[in-house]
Amino acid sequence: MVYKEDAAQFWEDIYLEDDAGWDLGGVTPVFDNIADELNRGKVCIVGCGHGYDAVMFALKGFEVTAVDFAPSATIALESISEKENVNVQIRQSDIFCLTPKYDSVFDYVIEQACFCAINPERRKEYERLVYKILKPGGKMIGLWFPLDKTMADGGPPWGITIDEVKSIFKNSWIIEREEFPEISIQHRKNREKLIIFEKQ
């Protein structure tokens, strides 16, 4: 089955219409703080959008691969990374094509509004992808969003529940950290939850 949101053009049209309501316009404070706590390593940002966090992680000394299949997203990231004079590996690609080339490559995968962008039928496939590209002991660092939508509301973004996320990231994962961050940006407070899963 192919879903409308499987097509890069679906997302590209949203960028071209300047309708990317999810875009924070800058670095995500939660990830900015977490980056300071992590050992340096290889980061993959899936569905990176304009990529402010990709540049932030790179500026802090991480080796960053940022992946998005919408050309407007990767072009914007190229421009921001050039301006900041920082090296980010930018991949204009479907995240589901990262394996097997990137199997067991990354120490961290960063998730923000990518899980809710793919069709709910593909969520297990997404989990398998993340599992494969992480090293053993690698961490899936997710801001799981939006918690205030249901499937009946339609998507994307497709609603999520924490119970569902935990049931998908269950076998071969342990939860390292879970909280509603104090420093979520105002309009996402209590609509997103930080959960870090560690690959076993």
Could you tell me the smallest distance in angstroms from the CB atom of residue 95 to ligand SAM? 4
**Side-chain half-sphere of 81: how many Cα atoms within 13 Å?**
22
Sheet with 106-112, side-by-side order of all strands: 88-92, 63-68, 42-46, 106-112, 134-144, 193-199, 173-179
Residue with tokens 């991480």: 62
Residue 11 binds to ligand SAM (criterion: CB under 6 A): yes
d(CA 116, CA 156): 7
Q: Which is nearer to ligand SAM, 34 or 95 (CB)?
A: 95
Contact between 47 and ligand SAM by CB under 6 A: the answer reads yes
Distance CA 95, CA 84 (A): 25
Q: Which 83-102 residues touch ligand SAM, going by CB under 6 A?
A: 94-96
* 45 within 8 A of 65, measured Cβ to Cβ: yes
CB 155 within 8 A of CB 122: no
Q: Which is nearer to ligand SAM, 78 or 96 (CB)?
A: 96
Footprint (CB under 6 A) of ligand SAM, residues 153-182 = 157
- Contacting residue, 55, 56, 66, 113, with ligand SAM by CB under 6 A: 113
Interatomic CA distance for residues 111 and 113, integer angstroms: 7
Least Cβ distance, residue 135 to ligand SAM (angstroms): 21
- The reply to whether 66 sits near ligand SAM by the rule CB under 6 A is no
DSSP element (H, E) containing 171: none
Candidate list 31, 69, 115, 144; residue touching ligand SAM; CB under 6 A: 69
In the stretch 123-152, what mask flags binding to ligand SAM with x, by CB under 6 A?
Answer: ------------------------------
Binding site for ligand SAM (CB under 6 A): 11, 22-23, 47-49, 67-70, 73, 94-96, 112-114, 117-118, 157
